[in-house]
Amino acid sequence: MWQSERAPNHRDLTRVGRARTVVALGCLCAALGTASLGTAGADSTPAQGPGGAAPASGQVRLFPEAPVQGDTIVVMISTPPGVAAAATFDGNPIGTFQDGTERRALIGTDPDVAAGAHRIDLVLRGANGTVHRMTRTIRLAAAHFGVRRLVLPPSTFGLITTQNLETERRALGPVLSRRTPVAWWHGVFALPSDGPIDSPYGEQGWYNGHREWWHMGVDFAAPAGAPVTSANAGIVALARALPLGGNTVVVDHGQGVLSEYLHLSAFAVAEGGRVDRGAILGRIGATGLVTGPGLHWGLYVNGVPVNPLYWTRARAELTATGYR
């Protein structure tokens, strides 16, 4: 069976450094209801503006209702005109972007985000200086991830070097940090290959007998030369050869959502080009840290590698049919 490996992204390199260095590669290749701000279950701390003016206010809706590890949590914030919104997840800032008449924040989760309670803080600031602070506690359910064991030949294992890891970090770090304010995607994401999935998201990896990182995407087994297509519309943020990812394409779909396609044999796009869902990005190959032809497909939300298969389903305020 074909398997791909992937270098850790810019967010993971520090954590990988704390793991065993035998394979410093890292990961290669409940209920959350809707409520209005100020309702039961949310702590509200309004601040009066000049002259005792009413504080900025609004409503928040959260999706999905029962998120699990690997999910993308959607925060929809409805505010009066002139009110700015800021948000944090467990104390970490998350961007909010205009989405029609509302603002939207996307929170990526992965196997490293612990199951259980998590905190979302919202700060609404009115044009007259009034401030309204909200805290919501949400619960993330545990997902069940498998285990995969690989034995890499010396020639492949030898690609895992400090220099190659640094090359990948320098190339991918700025790209995966993009936060384009416009959302270019429309509706559900399409699978980028017709091949069967042979390695799912989140599997805990054992490489040459050493327990290492979990799988940060989905692998497809497909013949060399088969087409690889864009999962949705966006801008090609990267199209270049990397030592571990091989020939790699990253598509920026906007608002912190980016998809990656690794180990291609050839490119059909160039950096900066616009692509639609289904556009051919390249061809299945076996470049980089792989054991045979195939495709690694990953999806990042604000730098967090989420389960891309969740984006192939209709999700409220994200990929639902008819959305935008």
Same domain, 135 and 148: no
Whole-model pTM?
A: 0.84
pLDDT in tens, 135-169: 999 999 999 999 988 888 888 878 888 999 999 99
What are 138's strand-pairing partners? 118
Q: What is the pLDDT of residues 243-275, one digit of tens each?
A: 999 999 999 999 999 999 999 999 999 999 999
Residue 109 CA to chain centroid, in angstroms?
A: 8
Q: Indicate whether 134 and 263 sit together in one domain.
A: no
Can you tell me the distance from the alpha carbon of 147 to that of 149, in angstroms, rounded to the nearest whole number?
7
In a domain, 108, yes or no: yes
What is the CATH classification number for the domain harbouring 275?
2.70.70.10
- pLDDT score at 56: 57
Residues whose CB is less than 8 angstroms from the CB of residue 144 and which lie 6 or more positions away in sequence, other chains included: none
Average pLDDT for 63-83: 93
Please report whether residue 126 resides in a domain: yes
pLDDT in tens, 3-56: 454 545 433 433 333 332 223 333 333 222 333 333 333 444 444 444 334 445
Mark which of 140, 170, 201 sits at the end of a domain.
Answer: 140
Q: Residue 39: which of 60, 64, 17, 70 has the closest Cα? A: 60
The count of domains in the chain is: 2
Identify the domain containing residue 103 by its residue range. Answer: 42-140
Cβ–Cβ < 8 Å for 28, 7: yes
Enumerate residues 6+ apart whose C-beta is below 8 A from 39. Answer: none
Amino acid in position 279: A
